[in-house]
């Protein structure tokens, strides 16, 4: 994963509430078996409207998106994060995010910045004409004016973002503690590993009973 | 400091592999469900890094999202190709990946195939006190049996495949208690819509919900699955219901449930899981059953809930300015005007199915309304069983004949019209009474208009051609 310490530049001054993942990337774009190229489908239904924000040349290629409450609600599709990354978005600022989306964003090097509604309202205004900067070093969002908003981020996530760490690799290094846990699990809850899923075992009459 | 713990805290504690300095934990995952849409890039990641699947015995794959719900074989039993090239490729990729990584797999042609969240409980793969994940947000459904179950993204799918763990921070807890006895014609779907209407689409963000109270206790596992399924529509990544005798009776004898001595040991442990008296939740919400009526959504967020006896709200009626703006946009999209009675709204499509409402009890409820009636002129109504086994059971009970005689289409199992990834879609500008879980803009197809409601209410809409109060058609 690419390391990120600072995201600065133009920002889409959107502010919309409850932006769901079907809006970020409609389902028909999910039939891909790769991660790339989804930027073309990002916000397709919004882009179908004339004069929309995402096709406004003032914000073309903006690395920051400013949105309202509950950004990324709905489906768990990581395609939403892939689509944002593919269109060049590296940070999203909102009063709240869906839990699944913020995890997916983080895994793709996108910083999710939670700020109070008043701060988001102010940034939406500023971003119409001026750039915005998200800094992971100082944990602040700033503008060319006197705005300076501090935000919090899970320390582990912050470190992974700033160092561009591979989480699977990090966890695989814990192989021994995982194996120890599995040994204990086998003794304490032996039924967990017993779920045989070979086809013969599945085709049992009456499994669909009421 | 009391040592009383909630159901969630007990399941969490039993799965901590390692506690980290920052408060997050490495959590062991007992059960991992895969489907074709959110897994290809995860397998690709494993392949690129030369990694293997750590615990194939804790993993189960089944295709559901892309599958057309029309016949899958010809008269000779030969598999029919899927017309949509991309869907066919994604389904083929799942077959290739499960073969390459030796992952247990239920094929599209198996009678056991179905929507991943119907298959899990039905097979006994879902168990109380387990941690369970799937690259699908409605994984929250499995919490109905007392599992800590939640949706994950594809990077996390890859992480679980490779390590059988996830790095998670503990969630806050929220009790949603529903007291009393449900009124005539009120179902589990109406309860969960009422809950989401109350807490809002982001009300549960950062929380795991535990559903408690007499109403929840009195529900079958199927009704509980409907409720836990929609936890995510209230912003909660997971929703749980304490396991009880109803849960154990449901699971006993299912193909992948523990057998013999293991069964007895498991039940002993499961009995220790319900929240202790005196356990504290970060948030508590209470609802009275007598306040819950057959309900449905009017807008484009699952929180836009109104009783069927109600009217389309005026945007001005909302206190919050951003909600007012959102409501106006929703009404424009939905083609509704404030003050219009919900029961006067005509519909063109009915969808009975999805991981929320496609189980045998759902089909029975819909069939009891459809029986002896006929789908209204100009309405297309689909019934899509949640799995091959549900379909077989329904056919054994004659429900398919009730539906087809009434003019409903009886289809093959899959996600169908819930999410517009397969041929079952609602055309732009047309309106669907749907038992699914999301009424988002474009969810059932570009420009589609969705009203979420219960299976019985959907059947009532089908036979009247409008949104209707099922109580007037019952009894």
Of A167, A57, A150, A49, nearest in space to A106 by CA: A167
Q: What is the pLDDT of residue A194?
A: 57
| Tokens describing residue B245 | 């005798």
Flag if B419 and A27 touch (Cβ within 8 Å): yes
Chain A residues in contact with B87 by the CB 8 A cut-off are 31
Write the CA distances from B471 to A157, A162, B146, B383, integer angstroms: 51, 58, 32, 21
Decide if pLDDT at B322 tops 90. Answer: no
In this structure, the answer to whether residues B64 and B160 fall within a common structural domain is yes
- DSSP class of A1: -
Decide if pLDDT at A195 tops 90. Answer: no
Chain A residues in contact with B139 by the CB 8 A cut-off are 76
User: Closest-CA residue in chain B for A107?
Assistant: B155
pLDDT-based confidence at residue A201 (cuts at 50, 70, 90): very low
Say whether residue A34 is in contact with chain B using an 8 A CB cutoff: yes
| Tokens describing residue B59 | 């993993």
Per-residue pLDDT tens for A81-104?
999 999 999 999 999 999 999 999
Angle at A201 between CA A195 and CA A207, to 5 degrees: 90
Of A83, A102, A107, nearest in space to A28 by CA: A83
d(CA B100, CA B50): 12
Of B69, B21, B400, nearest in space to A155 by CA: B21
| Tokens describing residue A9 | 């530049």
User: Closest-CA residue in chain A for B30?
Assistant: A192
d(CA A27, CA A75): 10
Last residue of a domain, one of B153, B168, B183: B168
Instruction: Provide the residue range defining the domain that includes B270.
Output: 172-242+266-291
Chain B residues in contact with A34 by the CB 8 A cut-off are 40-41, 44
User: Closest-CA residue in chain A for B159?
Assistant: A168
Are B192 and B76 within 8 A, CB to CB? no
**Other beta carbons within 10 Å of A105:** 26
Task: State the ipTM, two decimals.
Answer: 0.95
Flag if A202 and B446 touch (Cβ within 8 Å): no
Decide if pLDDT at A198 tops 60. Answer: no
Say whether residue A158 is in contact with chain B using an 8 A CB cutoff: no
**Other beta carbons within 10 Å of B290:** 12
Say whether residue A179 is in contact with chain B using an 8 A CB cutoff: no
Per-residue pLDDT tens for B56-109?
999 999 999 999 999 999 999 999 999 999 999 999 999 999 999 999 999 999
pLDDT-based confidence at residue A197 (cuts at 50, 70, 90): very low
The B31-34 sheet, strands edge to edge: B59-61, B31-34, B131-134, B148-151
| CATH code: domain of residue B332 | 3.30.499.10
| CATH code: domain of residue B282 | 3.40.1060.10
Q: Where are the beta strands (DSSP E) in B213-339?
A: 238-240, 283-288, 295-297, 305-307
| Tokens describing residue A49 | 């409207």
Chain B residues in contact with A167 by the CB 8 A cut-off are 155, 159, 167
Q: Examine residue B312 and state whether it is found in any structural domain, yes or no.
A: yes
Last residue of a domain, one of B125, B148, B168: B168
Residue with tokens 């996830």: B166
Q: Examine residue B130 and state whether it is found in any structural domain, yes or no.
A: yes
In this structure, the answer to whether residues B314 and B451 fall within a common structural domain is yes
Residues 78-137 of A with CB under 8 A from B: 78, 81, 96-100, 103-104, 107-108
Residues 6+ apart with CB under 8 A from B106: A199, A202, B60, B61, B62, B112, B113, B119
Percent of chain B with pLDDT over 70: 100
A99-107 and B154-163 are packed helices; what angle lies between their axes, rounded to 10 degrees? 80
Q: Examine residue B1 and state whether it is found in any structural domain, yes or no.
A: no
Which residue in B440, B444, B446 has the most chain A C-beta atoms within 10 A of its own C-beta, making it the best mutation to test that interface?
Answer: B440
Of A100, A138, A143, nearest in space to A122 by CA: A143
Of B218, B133, B208, nearest in space to B170 by CA: B208
Which of B18, B22, B45 comes nearest A174 by C-beta? B18
Residue with tokens 């899990």: B120
Q: Examine residue B248 and state whether it is found in any structural domain, yes or no.
A: no
In this structure, the answer to whether residues B277 and B163 fall within a common structural domain is no
Which of B93, B151, B442 comes nearest A100 by C-beta? B151
- The answer regarding whether domain A6-164 maps to CATH 3.20.19.10 reads yes
d(CA B244, CA B249): 9
Q: What is the pLDDT of residue B135?
A: 98
User: Into how many domains does chain B fold?
Assistant: 3
Flag if B326 and A99 touch (Cβ within 8 Å): no
The domain ranges of chain A are: 6-164, 169-202
Q: What is the pLDDT of residue A204?
A: 34
Say whether residue A174 is in contact with chain B using an 8 A CB cutoff: yes
Decide if pLDDT at A38 tops 50. Answer: yes
B360-370 and B221-229 are packed helices; what angle lies between their axes, rounded to 10 degrees? 100
| Tokens describing residue B146 | 């007392």
Beta bridge partners of B297: B305
In this structure, the answer to whether residues B85 and B210 fall within a common structural domain is no
Chain A residues in contact with B49 by the CB 8 A cut-off are 168-169
Write the CA distances from B375 to A168, B218, B311, B434, B456, integer angstroms: 52, 32, 24, 15, 13
Last residue of a domain, one of B275, B291, B307: B291
In the predicted model, what is the mean pLDDT of residues B184-190?
A: 97
B360-370 and B455-464 are packed helices; what angle lies between their axes, rounded to 10 degrees? 30
How many CB pairs (< 8 A) connect A and B?
Answer: 245
Q: Are strands B305-307 and B295-297 parallel, antiparallel or unpaired?
A: antiparallel
d(CA A151, CA A93): 10
Flag if B201 and A33 touch (Cβ within 8 Å): no
Mean pLDDT estimate for chain B:
97
Chain A residues in contact with B446 by the CB 8 A cut-off are 26, 45
In this structure, the answer to whether residues B163 and B209 fall within a common structural domain is no
| Tokens describing residue B313 | 């709200």
d(CA A66, CA A51): 18
Grouping H, G, I as helix, E, B as strand and the rest as coil, residue A155 is helix
Decide if pLDDT at B353 tops 60. Answer: yes
In this structure, the answer to whether residues B443 and B464 fall within a common structural domain is yes
In this structure, the answer to whether residues B370 and B276 fall within a common structural domain is no
Chain B nearest C-alpha distance from A188 (Å): 9
């Amino acid at each position: 994963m690419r390391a990120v310490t600072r995201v600065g530049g133009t920002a889409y001054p959107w502010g919309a509430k409850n932006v769901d993942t079907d809006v970020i990337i409609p389902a028909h774009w999910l039939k891909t078996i790769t991660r790339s190229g989804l930027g073309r489908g990002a916000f397709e239904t919004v882009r179908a409207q004339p004069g929309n924000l995402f096709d406004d040349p003032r914000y073309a290629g903006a690395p920051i998106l400013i949105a309202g409450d509950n950004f990324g609600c709905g489906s768990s599709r990581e395609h939403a994060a892939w689509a944002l990354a593919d269109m060049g978005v590296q940070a999203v600022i909102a009063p709240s995010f869906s839990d699944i989306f913020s995890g997916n964003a983080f895994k793709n090097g996108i910083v999710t910045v939670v700020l109070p509604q008043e701060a988001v309202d102010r940034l939406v205004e500023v971003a119409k004409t001026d750039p915005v900067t998200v800094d992971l070093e100082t944990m602040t969002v700033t503008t060319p004016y006197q705005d300076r908003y501090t935000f919090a981020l899970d320390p582990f996530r912050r470190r992974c973002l700033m160092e561009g760490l591979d989480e699977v690799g990090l966890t695989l290094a814990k192989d021994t503690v995982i194996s120890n846990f599995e040994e204990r699990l086998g003794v304490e809850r032996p039924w967990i590993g017993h779920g045989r899923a070979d086809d013969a075992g599945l085709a049992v009459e009456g499994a669909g009973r009421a | 400091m009391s040592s009383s713990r909630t159901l969630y805290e007990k399941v969490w504690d039993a799965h901590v592999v390692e506690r980290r300095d920052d408060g997050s934990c490495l959590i062991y995952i007992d059960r991992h469900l895969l489907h074709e849409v959110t897994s290809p890039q995860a397998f690709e990641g494993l392949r690129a890094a030369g990694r293997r699947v750590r615990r194939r015995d804790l993993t189960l794959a089944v295709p559901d999202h892309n599958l057309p719900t029309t016949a899958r074989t010809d008269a000779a039993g030969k598999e029919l190709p899927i017309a949509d090239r991309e869907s066919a490729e994604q389904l083929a990729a799942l077959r290739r990946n499960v073969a390459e990584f030796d992952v247990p797999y239920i094929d599209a042609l198996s009678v056991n195939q179905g929507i991943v969240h119907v298959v899990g409980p039905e097979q006994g793969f879902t168990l109380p006190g387990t941690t369970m994940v799937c690259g699908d947000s409605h994984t929250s459904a499995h919490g109905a049996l007392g599992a800590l179950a939640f949706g994950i993204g594809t990077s996390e799918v890859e992480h679980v495949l490779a390590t059988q763990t996830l790095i998670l921070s503990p969630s806050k807890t929220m009790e949603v208690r529903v007291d009393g006895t449900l009124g005539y014609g009120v179902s589990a779907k109406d309860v969960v819509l009422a809950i989401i209407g109350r807490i809002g689409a982001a009300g549960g963000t950062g929380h795991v919900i535990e559903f408690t109270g007499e109403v929840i206790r009195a529900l079958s596992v199927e009704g509980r699955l409907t409720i836990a399924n929609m936890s995510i529509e209230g912003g909660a990544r997971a929703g749980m219901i304490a396991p009880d005798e109803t849960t154990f009776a449901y699971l006993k004898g299912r193909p992948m449930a523990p057998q013999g001595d293991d069964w007895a040991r498991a039940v002993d442990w499961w009995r220790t899981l319900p929240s202790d008296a005196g356990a504290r939740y970060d948030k508590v919400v209470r609802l009275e059953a007598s306040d819950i009526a057959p309900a449905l959504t009017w807008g484009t967020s699952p929180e836009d809930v109104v009783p069927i006896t109600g009217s389309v709200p005026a945007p001005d009626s909302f206190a919050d300015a951003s909600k007012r703006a959102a409501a106006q946009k929703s009404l424009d999209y939905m083609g509704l005007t404030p003050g219009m009675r919900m029961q006067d709204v005509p519909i063109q499509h009915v969808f009975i199915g999805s991981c929320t409402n496609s189980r045998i009890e759902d089909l029975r409820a819909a069939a009891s309304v459809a029986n002896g009636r006929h789908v209204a002129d100009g309405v297309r109504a689909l019934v899509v069983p949640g799995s091959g086994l549900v379909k077989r059971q329904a056919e054994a009970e004659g429900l398919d004949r009730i539906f087809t005689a009434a003019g409903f289409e009886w289809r093959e199992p899959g996600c169908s019209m819930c999410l517009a990834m397969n041929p079952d879609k609602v055309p732009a500008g047309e309106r669907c009474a749907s038992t699914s879980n999301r009424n988002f803009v474009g969810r059932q197809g570009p420009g589609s208009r969705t009203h979420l409601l219960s299976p019985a209410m959907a059947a009532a809409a089908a036979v009247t051609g409008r949104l209707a109060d099922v109580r007037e058609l019952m009894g």
